[in-house]
Amino acid sequence: MISEKKTTDILQLHPHKVVVTNVGESCQKNKPINSNKHAKVSKHIFQYSRLIEHWKHLFEITDWNISCESISAMQVVDALKGNTPGHEFVGISIDFEKRTGTIFHSRELHEDDIIHELLHIRFPTWSEEEVNFWMNLLMKQTKSKMTINSDVMVIV
């Protein structure tokens, strides 16, 4: 059920619905979120939606449908730590044909997480190092003017 293969593709295996992420970790899709946490979850969904829409506009990917899905940390397995469960995780499953993405997360998302995952959509050929570099730069320069042409991003 758990794949140890490192991959840049996102696979969904049925009937267990295991999602293999682009960092080589695996997680089984979570059951619906507990209704006791509904108010807190609704607040987070609103905050995430605002941030996602803001950055989609800046990255010129407004035609994409991006959603967020909370998963349990116990569903995240780290192959580098003996396949032990219970790790933090943020990753995106991308369907370029349908122009959809789902950000899976085992902890509360922050703006840098959203920027990072949306950069994977806007610049799919970038390495993880390039995405991290630009995400860090964007977090430091949020008031700067940004220009995007093809696969090039310029911050002024």
Indicate the pTM of the whole model.
0.67
pLDDT tens sequence across 106-126: 999 999 999 999 999 999 999
- Token pair, residue 83, equals 């396949």
pLDDT tens sequence across 5-35: 333 333 332 233 344 343 433 343 444 444 4
Contact 119, 127 (CB under 8 A): no
Instruction: Give helix 111-122 / helix 38-58 axis angle, nearest 10°.
Output: 50
